[in-house]
Amino acid sequence: MDEKLLQYIWKNQLFDGLHATTTDGIELLLINTGTINSNSGPDFFNAKIRIGDTLWVGCVELHLRASDWNLHKHQNDAAYSNVILHVVYENDTDILDKKGNPIPTLELKPLIKQDLIAQYNYYMSSQLEIVCQNQFESVPSQVIGSCLNKMLVERLENRKTTIDSILDANYNHKEEAFYQILATSFGFKTNSEPFGLLAKSLPLSILGKHKSDLLQIEALLFGLAGFLDVEPTDDYTAKLQREYLFLKQKFSLSPLCECKIWKFSKTYPSGFPTIRIAQFAALIHQSSALLSKILEVNTIDELIDLFTVTASDYWTNHFKMGVQSNQSFAKSLGITAIHSLIINTVLPFMYAYGRWNDNITYIDKCICFYSDLPLEDNTIVRKYNVLREFSSALHSQGLLQLYNIYCKPKRCLDCRIGIHIL
């Protein structure tokens, strides 16, 4: 038994209330357990309880043992002066309030079914990564669906907090914030940091002045990324260098740093940072007012079309600057990469935008688009996929939140699936 479980039992009235009395034998009728208090002070407030012939409304404090009241020095704390009931698992001593009067106490130990405690203790001591996995199949689909919807919204709220900080750093300029977040995501896992630094060193306002000229956009991006600090070996590289030197001086730009911060190892050639920068340049070139277009789309296919881009012709037979490859094919942004950008960047920003403007349309559209995207394939999703079939990105994003925030730290009492099983 721990206080988390005790609070859960009290909140959900998982005890024999028909035989509940105070420790001095007075009949007790629980009308309302109250609202849990997440701040300092008693555990529940606005509880409504009839003790004997008197109806009381006030706070309830919970402890594993009655003596914890004195251990925590509540008898000297005015915040606990309006406690109408002390709920304990074991009543090991009599408790008095600040004025020396006895506090009505309810002992729950004889009123709780022990199999509930045994099940909870089994979960807490289990070595399984997902402690309820053996009972998972018995959970109704409605409960799982409701849980994963809640998990997705929680995950989006967490993402919104990060987006809010980036927006604040950009003085509430939404387009600039989105551009920086999108650029960071374009680096995917391996090169997200240098891509983010690149976007910060090259404001969207400067790129916007050259959106009609793909070569100039490439020159700015490759130049500030450090890839043009080489002896040119072909016309394309030489043209980029000339454009970059002119634009660098015109806008007083400072290079990101040496190109060695970009990682090529452990990356497929089609995902090399040079290819991603060329694809990002193509996206900037073809997507005037990209954020506005994203917010206006009505179908997931329209959203995917906005990110369907191909690097310029030079990259058809190149993976690195100045090094011709014997493989020749158009370097288009793959559908898996597009899905990843939409799932991890575009839709969280759409959700945040809806929250900023108190516009449920964007929030609903965001949730629907997650339902329209395919299930992601990763190690965490596969842990659950052997237990039940899932089909969409709504499920996979919900499962990521469920595993990291609830299953891994064993927060079973805060999880709808865990609560259902218990």
pLDDT, tens digit only, all 422 positions of the chain: 899 999 999 999 999 999 999 999 999 999 999 999 988 899 999 999 999 999 999 999 999 999 999 999 998 888 898 999 999 999 999 998 878 889 999 999 999 999 889 989 989 999 998 998 888 888 998 999 999 999 999 999 999 999 999 999 999 999 999 999 999 999 999 999 999 999 999 999 999 999 999 999 999 999 999 999 889 999 999 999 999 999 999 999 988 766 789 999 888 999 999 999 999 999 999 988 999 999 999 999 999 999 999 999 999 999 999 999 999 999 999 999 999 999 999 999 999 999 999 999 999 999 999 999 999 999 999 988 766 778 999 999 999 999 999 999 999 999 999 989 88
Contact 45/64 with Cβ under 8 angstroms? Answer: no
Q: Kindly provide the b/e burial profile for residues 168-199, where b requires at least 16 CB atoms within 10 angstroms of the residue's own CB.
A: eebeeebebbbbbbbbbbbbbebbeebbbbbb
Contact 219/374 with Cβ under 8 angstroms? Answer: no
314-320 long-range contacts (CB < 8 A, ≥24 apart) are: 314/236, 314/278, 315/274, 315/275, 315/278, 318/274, 319/269, 319/270, 319/272, 319/274, 319/275, 320/264, 320/272, 320/274
DSSP H helices in 67-173: 68-71, 114-125, 141-169
Whether the model clears a pTM of 0.85, i.e. scores above it, the answer is yes
**Of 334, 333, 330, 332, the residue nearest 313 (C-alpha):** 330
pLDDT tens string 217-275: 999 999 999 999 889 999 999 999 999 999 999 999 988 766 789 999 888 999 999 99
pLDDT tens string 121-154: 989 999 998 998 888 888 998 999 999 999 999 9
